[in-house]
């Protein structure tokens, strides 16, 4: 090891520190990139919108709290350390009774609602 600091692209990411930078709900923040994918953190509370993604699966990793991924044929409840992948084309609606935090991975440019017109703008922090 050279003792030199890693470049910006090689910096480790502390998810708790990133989550401490904002308080808004349902507004994913990009924290890193991976092989053409954005890695996000998001704070959630209440119900999102029913939606689907025609061209990609939807990856959810619960970091804190409890999140329910509502599906038309039953719910999936996620606790910290649990993940669920919604297959592409499957309608779903995430919700959390109390604030929870998620990590999401999506192909770059994927709208969080499945529709560019209604998607939340993505911000890198």
**Which class would CATH give 28-110+118-124?**
mainly beta
Query: How confident is the model at residue 123, as a pLDDT?
Result: 77
- Dihedral angle sign, alpha carbons of residues 9, 14, 15, 19: negative
Query: How confident is the model at residue 95, as a pLDDT?
Result: 98
- Per-domain residue ranges for the chain? 28-110+118-124
What is the per-residue pLDDT across 54-78, written as a single tens digit (0 to 9) for each? 889 999 999 999 999 999 999 999 9
Residue from 66, 64, 125 nearest 94 by CA: 66
CA distance 74 to 77: 10
CA distance 122 to 54: 19
Give, for all 125 residues of the chain, the pLDDT tens digit. 455 555 555 789 999 999 999 999 999 999 999 999 999 999 999 999 999 988 899 999 999 999 999 999 999 999 999 999 999 999 999 999 999 999 999 988 776 655 566 556 667 88
Residue from 53, 51, 26 nearest 107 by CA: 53
Contacts of 89 (CB under 8 A, 6+ apart): 52, 53, 54
How many helices (H) does the chain have, and how many strands (E)? 1, 8
Please state the pTM of the whole predicted model. 0.85
Query: How confident is the model at residue 113, as a pLDDT?
Result: 58
Residue from 23, 72, 61 nearest 45 by CA: 23
């Amino acid at each position: 090891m050279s003792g030199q600091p890693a470049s910006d692209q090689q910096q480790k990411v502390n998810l708790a520190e990133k989550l401490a930078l904002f308080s808004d709900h349902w507004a994913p923040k990009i924290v890193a990139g991976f092989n053409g994918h954005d890695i996000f953190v998001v704070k959630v509370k209440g119900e999102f919108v029913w939606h689907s993604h025609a061209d990609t699966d939807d990856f959810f990793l619960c970091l804190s709290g409890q999140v329910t991924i509502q599906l038309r044929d039953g719910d999936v409840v996620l606790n910290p350390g649990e993940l669920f992948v919604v297959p592409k084309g499957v309608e779903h609606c995430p919700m959390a009774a109390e604030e929870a935090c998620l990590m999401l991975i999506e192909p770059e440019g994927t709208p969080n609602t499945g529709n560019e017109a209604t998607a939340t703008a993505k911000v890198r922090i």
